[in-house]
Amino acid sequence: MSNNASSFIAKSTIKSADLEHRRKINFNIGKYNATVPLGKQQFTDVMTARERAKNAKWRAIEHLDSYLEEFEKQITSRGAKVLWAETADDALNEIAKICDEKNCRTVVKSKSMVTEEIHLNDFLEKKGIESVETDLGEYIQQLDDEPPYHIVTPAMHKSKEDVAKLFADKLNVPGGLSPEELTLVARQKLREKYIQAEIGVTGANFIIADIGAVAVTENEGNARLSCAWPKTHIVIVGIEKMIPGMQDLALFWPLLSTYGTGQKVTVYNTIIAGPRQPGETDGPEEMYVILLDNGRTNLLSNPKTREALYCIRCGACLNACPVYKNIGGHSYETTYSGPIGSVITPHLKNIGEYKHLSYASSLCGNCTEVCAVKINLHELLLDNRHEAVLQGYSSLSERLAWKAWKTASLNRGMMNLGNGNMKNWVVNKVFKAWTQHHGALDFSKKTFNEMWKEKHATK
């Protein structure tokens, strides 16, 4: 068992028994569950909308090379600079060059999972550069020195009382402030940083090929300030965020907001197609777009796992997953948690080190049921398990156990042997993996086959 797997089991064991944690998560996800059905009412046929979105992402991923080139051609024609990063280190090195060139001391950053993926804040801190999260949830997590707990809602595991205490401890404000008062405190602190920052960093929810632009979705306006106020704007985005054309936003924006938060559409939706143009009164003087691979082409090259690149990061699968709701986001110890994280992380990193995530599932299929773009997530988890075995990442005892099970299952005589106590002893005492985390199995004294024969033999 890898160190990552051992740590995952230890943390998830502790967290799953934490009833206060479960109360907070159920409360917050309960509010999500109440609003999403209302958001879906805007669609005449939500199933058709999801199918259309999946088809659009299929086109984008199947022709990703040509769409990326088209995007680069269009956005560079308006003065933006496109940088290609094969790895996280490549992306960080490009950012370091830009920061050195601009003599940067402060960076304001909007919510971006891909910057969490490359550990941008830690990198900038080591260079003596202050990196400030401007999304309220991310700001809370940064103050608490924690990574995001959830793809969409970074501080989902915290109650308003937790946040009030954190602000009192870290920002020297009175304790017991209301959510409205806490928001005003954060606004005052963050607006000072917008003025100081030489560089603003954002992610992108979508890359638009035909017009050469990035689309950013948010509720607080902090992303707009991060990209418009500083003189330099850096976009860091995974190559899988591509959509074919601007007209696709009419589908993807409401679909993302509905499945992400239950809104019909988020408060701020911005299309950024380059730096400030002649005659424009605001916007950055320079714009860089870093297109990040960092393992995504591993998914792209696999015909089965390629479907995972359709993900629009709405977070619906996390909210639906019984495992995630019990063990929490931090137990996964990965940037992307929940079902989608369990699918993509072994391919973005190392399948031997992260194959355990594919077993962090009940295979109930609820993640597939709620996916905004109809990714077959539970099937991809099974494919990951199969891939790990094919690559030799299974223990000798596991292989022997399954071989014995297969041999016995294909032989009716062997299945009828040792009913009851014998089978109980083999499974519960010899192969102890099951009983480490489950109750002991108690096999029937007779198999159905034996009972059937006895019934018909008396006639």
Clarify whether residues 203 and 331 are in a common domain: no
Q: Is residue 13 part of a domain?
A: no
DSSP letter string, 137-157: HHHHHHHTT---SSSS-TTTT
Clarify whether residues 381 and 447 are in a common domain: no
pLDDT at 442 (0 to 100): 85
Clarify whether residues 256 and 272 are in a common domain: yes
Bridge partners of residue 235, in order along the sequence: 202, 289
Tokens of 74: 């269009």
Sites in the chain below the pLDDT cut of 70: 420, 458-459
C-alpha 248/C-alpha 256 separation (Å) is 12
pLDDT tens by residue, 169-215:
999 999 999 999 999 999 999 999 999 999 999 999 999 999 999 99
- Total domain count, the chain: 3
Clarify whether residues 316 and 210 are in a common domain: no
Total Cβ atoms within 10 A of residue 46: 17
Q: Is residue 380 part of a domain?
A: yes
Find the CATH number of the domain harbouring 200.
3.40.50.10420
Clarify whether residues 209 and 354 are in a common domain: no
Residue ending a domain, among 294, 317, 347, is: 294
pLDDT at 34 (0 to 100): 95
Residue ending a domain, among 349, 366, 390, is: 390
Q: What is the DSSP letter of 308?
A: G
Q: What's the Cα-to-Cα distance from 219 to each of 33, 135, 153, 167, 202, rounded to whole Å?
A: 19, 9, 12, 21, 14
pLDDT at 459 (0 to 100): 56
In 3D, which of 433, 350, 360, 362 has the Cα closest to residue 388?
350
C-alpha 60/C-alpha 242 separation (Å) is 6
Q: Is residue 73 part of a domain?
A: yes
Residue ending a domain, among 241, 269, 294, is: 294
Q: Is residue 28 part of a domain?
A: no
Clarify whether residues 288 and 373 are in a common domain: no
Clarify whether residues 270 and 147 are in a common domain: yes
Clarify whether residues 418 and 381 are in a common domain: no
pLDDT at 270 (0 to 100): 96
Q: Is residue 26 part of a domain?
A: no
Alpha helices in 41-119 (DSSP H): 46-62, 64-76, 88-101, 113-117
Q: What is the pTM of this model?
A: 0.91
pLDDT tens by residue, 58-106:
999 999 999 999 999 999 999 999 999 999 999 999 999 999 999 999 9
Q: Is residue 6 part of a domain?
A: no
Q: Is residue 318 part of a domain?
A: yes
Give the residue numbers spanning the domain of 144: 42-294
Clarify whether residues 240 and 116 are in a common domain: yes
Clarify whether residues 147 and 65 are in a common domain: yes
Alpha helices in 270-395 (DSSP H): 296-301, 316-320, 322-327, 338-348, 351-354, 366-370, 377-390
In 3D, which of 256, 244, 233, 257 has the Cα closest to residue 208?
244
Q: Is residue 273 part of a domain?
A: yes
Clarify whether residues 60 and 152 are in a common domain: yes
Strand order in the sheet with 286-292: 81-85, 286-292, 232-238, 199-202, 106-109, 130-133
| Helix, coil or strand: residue 58 | helix
C-alpha 330/C-alpha 421 separation (Å) is 41
pLDDT at 429 (0 to 100): 77
Clarify whether residues 270 and 401 are in a common domain: no
